[in-house]
Structure 1
Amino acid sequence: MTKLNLQLENQYSEALEHLPTVDSKELALMIAEAADDRKADNIVLLNVEKLSYVADYFVIVTGFSQPQLRAISTSIEDKIEEKFQRLPVRVEGKTDGNWILHDYGDVIAHIFLPEAREFYNLEAFWGGAEKIIYNSEYQSQNQN
């Protein structure tokens, strides 16, 4: 591992240590709700806790244009900061991509255009993960 990579890994680990403690499923559901607020489609939560050391949950959503991807991204950032006082450790692809990634440490949000989601097919790659299909009815049923 290069000195730069080691330094970046240490900075990432230190950033994660200072995050407020939040239940990862609750965080994943709030990310899904924020995406749903901006009309994201096909919202899926994957519980990868037993399959990966990288995160506990992936939240995968589809938007249909780059402006919608950015709106979903902003909605997620705003809602998570308001509810949990957390900012993502890292955001990738927000300015030019067909895939925006928000890394909250234990939860990673993937915001895709349809073609990119189909190409990368994270649901198939993590096929052994518990899959939760999110919609607004799911959220209202689980608030009781």
Structure 2
Amino acid sequence: MPVGPREGRAAPGDHDSAQVLATVLALVDDYKAEDVVQIDLRGRSEMADHMVICSGRSSRQVASIADKLMEKLKEDFGIISKVEGKETGDWVLIDAGDVIVHVFRPEVRDFYQLEKMWLPGGGGRMPASA
């Protein structure tokens, strides 16, 4: 599920990426997402400033987390997120401009191992608060 350059994507309004990130992290916690990982992409990628990766226990929970995130980002920041994968609920990508969110079922997350590509040293998971 590729995410393209920032051109043609949601433009920032009266908020910055740190505010959107803080909201995303609070929401995934509220919605009981598991194994939340926050990755700082500033200076490493042109696609976004931050990436959040988390898991839901089932396809239904994955889709629900994605729906609620998109609704809240639109309500709080006016961000119309682009989304891919919500139909199946295995891996949902939410492109909120400067913050990209991946919500996985655990088996799918283990298969793709996005953290290895993006975390320093390709290491394992680290907590969102790190």
After superposition, the C-alpha distances for 1:1-60 in whole angstroms (9 at most, x for unaligned) are xxxxxxxx79x724434x414211221121121122211011111001121111110011
Following superposition of structure 1 onto structure 2, how do residues 124-135 of structure 1 map, counting pairs within 5 Å?
124-128=116-120, 133-134=127-128
SS at match of 2:7: helix
The answer to whether the aligner puts 1:91 opposite 2:91 as a matched pair is no
Identity rate of aligned residues, in percent? 33
Change (3 A) 1:100 1:48: same
SS at match of 2:10: helix
Unaligned runs of 5+ in 2: none
Alignment partner of 2:26 out of 3, 28, 33? 33
Larger radius of gyration: 1
Q: Choose between structure 1 and 2: higher helix proportion.
A: 1
Query: Which residue matches 2:45?
Result: 52
Residues 31 and 76 in structure 1, CA contact (< 8 A), matched pair in contact too: yes
Change (3 A) 1:15 1:124: closer
Query: Which residue matches 2:7?
Result: 13
Instruction: Report the RMSD for the aligned CA atoms in angstroms.
Output: 2.3
Alignment partner of 1:103 out of 95, 100, 105? 95
Normalised by the size of structure 2, how large is the TM-score? 0.83
Task: Work out the CA distance in 1 between the residues paired with 2:71 and 2:30.
Answer: 12
Unaligned runs of 5+ in 1: 1-8, 139-144
Task: Work out the CA distance in 1 between the residues paired with 2:56 and 2:92.
Answer: 10
> How much does 1:64 deviate?
0.9
Following superposition of structure 1 onto structure 2, how do residues 61-76 of structure 1 map, counting pairs within 5 Å?
61-76=54-69
- Aligned positions, number: 123
Q: What letter corresponds to residue 117 of structure 1 in structure 2?
A: R
SS at match of 2:54: strand
